[in-house]
Structures are given as structure tokens and as C-alpha cells.
Structure 1
Amino acid sequence: MSGELVFVPLGGVGEIGMNVYLYGIDDQWIMVDLGLTFADDRLPGADLVLPDLSFIEERRDRLLGIIITHAHEDHIGAVPYLWSKLGAPIHCTRFPAAVLRRKLVENGVQQASAIREMTPGEPFDLGPFRCCLMHVTHSIPDANALAIDTPFGRV
């Protein structure tokens, strides 16, 4: 085991919406969710607020994958707008995959092949991260919790 486990929240902390979380080990990264938030009266004329991905854009060649937990806009809404800046495969279960494919096509992004449908309860490896999506009850179909096993323990 070398290095350290790094957690970098790019959104979704101290706010509602725009959930984007990075986990890194030895400069290998995974992203959990890529959401947006809806503008309020503090941003007149704006409808959507997208996360600032400059940190991971500079490391895009070391982004091993994007894992989507469920299909709410605050978890997937930025994908059609920002995925092309990252290019990493998207891992999610069936319903979020179907929603994302449609959103990508609607936004002229022709990379629906980047979506990898995962089976809940079946682990998959992304570099030093062993990930497992597990169904949970939520207000949208096919929502998942995510377990991430690392050399440093489970997140």
C-alpha cells in the first residue's frame, strides 16, 4: 500500500444539489456522480449551475471512471454538458443508464457507448478501487448506495 486515500468534493457539500465527489489513490481517480443544481433568484437569468471540474480536467487521463448512484438531476444532470471534458466511462445500473443515454442524445453527445451497465451487488474494479452498487429505497427507481473498497479500507 502506498500513498493515501484522497477525497475531493467538487459539489454537494454544504449545499443542495451539484453532487460530484472524487476519490483518489496515487493520482488515480474515480468520480461519484456528476450533478447540477438549479439556479435561484441570486442568479437572475441562469437556469442551471454546473460544477467546476478544473481539478479533474487537469487529470482527465487518470480518471478511471464515473459512477452514477441514481438518476436525479443533482446526481446526473451535468453529464450531458460536461462529460466531453472528461471522456471517462460511466458506470451505473439500468435505469440511470437509460436516462443518461436519452439525455446524451438530446444534447447531441454521441458517446452513449461510454455507459457501462452494472449489476447491483456485483463488484467491479477501477484501478485500486473495488466498487459495488447496491439497491436502496429512494424516490426514484434503481437508486443505489456505493461501497468503495480500497487498500485503506471501505468508504
Structure 2
Amino acid sequence: MGEQIRIVRQTRLDPAFPLSRRELAGVVATILEALGREGASLEITLVDDSEMARLNAGFMGCPGPTNVLSFPTGHGDVFRGEVGSAGESAYLGELALSVDTLVREAHLYGQPEQVHLARLLAHGVLHLAGYDHGPEMDDLTELAVDRVLLAQAD
């Protein structure tokens, strides 16, 4: 069974947001392949800064919005209060991505939105896969971003 990438939009997309749902799913599929997680499934919920601040406070105890939050399998369904079944081993979990923060940070860092988006998604997927911050995670993030850029150039 191939990967299933579910994208839920809970906010109006900023015109600067670089990709459609289909294109976004393609970027995530490329990231999963680059990280050796092809066939895995996950859900991405696109939120605004207000919802991200609520999630960040509720789950991380941190005030204000952040760019991406990862909810690995076993934490339940954050947005619907459901818990996945134990047989869903290929299901990595959920990501919440703030579209507002993505666009703001891309401009702040002087990066194209697509590059910053790939970096945030790779970072979030690595957290879902059990990685924590450090040199290995940084290297894998950049590997995934490079693979996305190569795929988009083709």
C-alpha cells in the first residue's frame, strides 16, 4: 500500500502560499522517499497563527505560534480527538503547519516559500519518525530539501 497524505485546510491560504494540495502532497511524498519512509502515511493540517498558538500552548506549553508542530502516532488525533488503531504502523502521525508563519519566515530568512516549506515539512516528518534536534536531523532535513528541489527542477 502506498503512502496516504491527507491535507486538511483550516485556514484561508495566503496568496504567497506556494502550492496546491496536490502539489503539497507531492512534496511530502518526495520527502518521505528521501528519508526512507516511502509508503508511510500522515496528515497535515494547514492552520493560521491563531490556531497554531492554541496548539502550541496546549501541547507544548509555549506561548504564541510556531511554524510546525509534530504529533507522532500514539498522541491521538489532535484535531478530532481520535486515537489511531495499533495496526497502523505505516501511519506516522500529524503535522500542523502555520501558513502565516511559513510566509513570514520565508520573507524574514530571504528564502523562496517553496524552499522554506520543504524544510519545515522535512523537519516535521523527521520528528514524526522519532528524530530530535541535532546534526543528524539537520543533515537529513537538508537531504530532503535538496531532493525536493531536484524533483521540482525535473
TM-score w.r.t. the length of structure 2 is 0.29
Which structure features the higher share of strand residues? 1
Structure 1 or 2: larger helix share?
2
